[in-house]
Amino acid sequence: MEYRKVTAIIRCGKLEKVESRLQQIGVQGISVTRVKGYGEYTDFYARDWMTSYARIEIFTAAEKVDDIVAAIMDAAHVGLSGDGIVAVLPVERLYRIRTRSDATTEQI
Amino acid sequence: MEYRKVTAIIRCGKLEKVESRLQQIGVQGISVTRVKGYGEYTDFYARDWMTSYARIEIFTAAEKVDDIVAAIMDAAHVGLSGDGIVAVLPVERLYRIRTRSDATTEQI
Amino acid sequence: MEYRKVTAIIRCGKLEKVESRLQQIGVQGISVTRVKGYGEYTDFYARDWMTSYARIEIFTAAEKVDDIVAAIMDAAHVGLSGDGIVAVLPVERLYRIRTRSDATTEQI
């Protein structure tokens, strides 16, 4: 089975909506960190150009990536700069600690 | 030389044991963040479904990955849902700031 | 268009200089987290072997990676152990939430 990592950097104010949407589509594990960041068109000369964002990280089966990306883009969208990004990264191996198993080599 | 990134999401209560095991096998650099997360079988309707986890990140030579994964799986294992995961991601290049060198192109 | 993720683990004391250098070369989005970490040559038997580091994450067009790595290495360099690392990871897809678009398939 193939896996991917989805990382989203979104507005903190949209975090609850995104989490609830991800639960609705059956995402089974997410982790969330607060990050400081700046994005497009920021006024670099302003004192407070660093804003707080939420960083969501999801390890998922490759075939669920499109649904997850669509759910995040829909729930996090405002239409203004600073809306953030969603990135998909390759994952070579994924292990579940509970079962001590390699999910990447499991038969479906 | 080839490099990989190992990311582990584990119970906070297992962090000290995992760190100590990683030191024993000679891992030379780890970074740790607290993340909020939920995993398999969480009761999504519970108010406090988001638990605190420790996120460990290790950049390492590819040939050490198996030992690192085994050490984390062993030290972090409880056998219950919420034990977390270990993921291995490809790394294209790795630079050491101290020596201003590209570790990926170094001769062994 | 191809994208990469650049992750740097640097001394906290160098963060401001690195951020300012990244702005100068036109980097349009970075996110920063504080992490606890240890690196080469740490005295593992010391009580306070975990130091605070800054973790910088940048999603960028592939052709800007060399400039970004050089800027970080230059601004974060002290020449002592604990200077940290810069890693470049492959990115499969990158989406902008504001425009609901896939930056990886955009024409230049």
* pLDDT digit string, tens, across residues B8-51: 999 999 999 999 999 899 897 899 998 887 765 444 444 455 68
pLDDT given at position A17: 95
**Cβ pair C87:B95 closer than 8 A:** yes
The ipTM assigned to this model is 0.89
Between the CA of residue C26 and those of A29, B99, C38, what are the distances in Å?
35, 26, 31
Confidence of residue C45 (pLDDT cuts 50, 70, 90): very low
What chain C holds in terms of domains, given with CATH numbers, is 3-105 (3.30.70.120)
What is the reported pLDDT for C76? 96
Query: Rounded distance, CA C9 to CA C7, Å?
Result: 7
Q: Express each pLDDT in B49-84 by its tens digit.
A: 568 899 999 999 999 999 999 999 999 999 988 899
Mean pLDDT of C13-19: 94
Chain B residue with CA closest to C53: the answer is B31
Mean pLDDT of A85-98: 96
Inter-residue contact A86 to A72 (CB < 8 Å): yes
Average pLDDT over residues C100-108: 81
**Given B33, B36, B77, which is nearest A97 (Cβ)?**
B77
Chain C nearest CA to A42, separation (Å) = 8
Q: Does the distance separating the beta carbons of B97 and C10 come in below 8 Å? A: yes
Decide if C61 touches A, using CB distance below 8 A: no
What pTM, to 2 d.p., does this model score? Answer: 0.91
pLDDT for the residue C43:
46
List Cβ neighbours of A29 (8 Å cut-off, separation of 6 or more).
A58, A59, B9, B37, B38, B39, B40, B85
In three-state secondary structure terms, A19 is: helix
Cα torsion at C54, C6, A77, B36 (round to 10°)? -40
Type of residue found at A96: R
pLDDT band at residue A96 under the 50/70/90 scheme: very high
Kindly list the residues from chain B whose CB atom is less than 8 angstroms away from the CB atom of residue A3.
87
State the pLDDT at residue B45.
46
Beta carbons of C87 and B94 less than 8 Å apart: yes
B39 contacts chain A (CB < 8 A): yes
**CB-nearest partner of A77 from C28, C91, C97:** C97
Distance from CA of A30 to the nearest CA of C (A): 18
Q: What's residue A75's pLDDT?
A: 97
Beta bridge partners of C96: A85, C101
Per-residue pLDDT tens digits for A7-47? 999 999 999 999 999 989 989 789 999 898 776 544 444 44
**H or E, element range at C9:** strand C3-11
Which residue has tokens 């270990």? B86
pLDDT score, position C87:
97
Contact A33 B10 (CB under 8 A): no
**C98: which residues sit within 8 A by CB, 6+ positions away?**
A40, A77, A78, A79, A80, A81, A82, A83, A84
Establish if A94 touches chain C: CB-CB under 8 angstroms: no
Q: What percentage of chain A exceeds 70 in pLDDT?
A: 86
Query: Least CB-CB distance to C33: which of A35, A80, A90?
Result: A35
User: Looking at the predicted structure, is the pLDDT value of residue C97 above 90?
Assistant: yes
Confidence of residue C84 (pLDDT cuts 50, 70, 90): very high
| pLDDT for res A43 | 46
Tokens of C41: 């040559």
Mean pLDDT of C4-30: 93
Contact of A96 with chain C, judged by CB distance below 8 Å, is answered with: no
What pLDDT, on the 0 to 100 scale, is given for residue A106? 76
Report residue A60 as tokens.
């998922």
Q: How much is the average pLDDT of C29-57?
A: 72
Cβ count within 10 A of residue A81: 13
| Partner residues linked to C58 by β-bridges | C6
**Buried residues in A49-64 as b, exposed as e (16+ CB within 10 A):** ebeebbbbbbbbeeeb
Cα-only R_g, chain C: 16
Task: Give just the sign of the alpha carbon dihedral B96, B61, C63, A6.
Answer: negative
Confidence of residue C36 (pLDDT cuts 50, 70, 90): confident
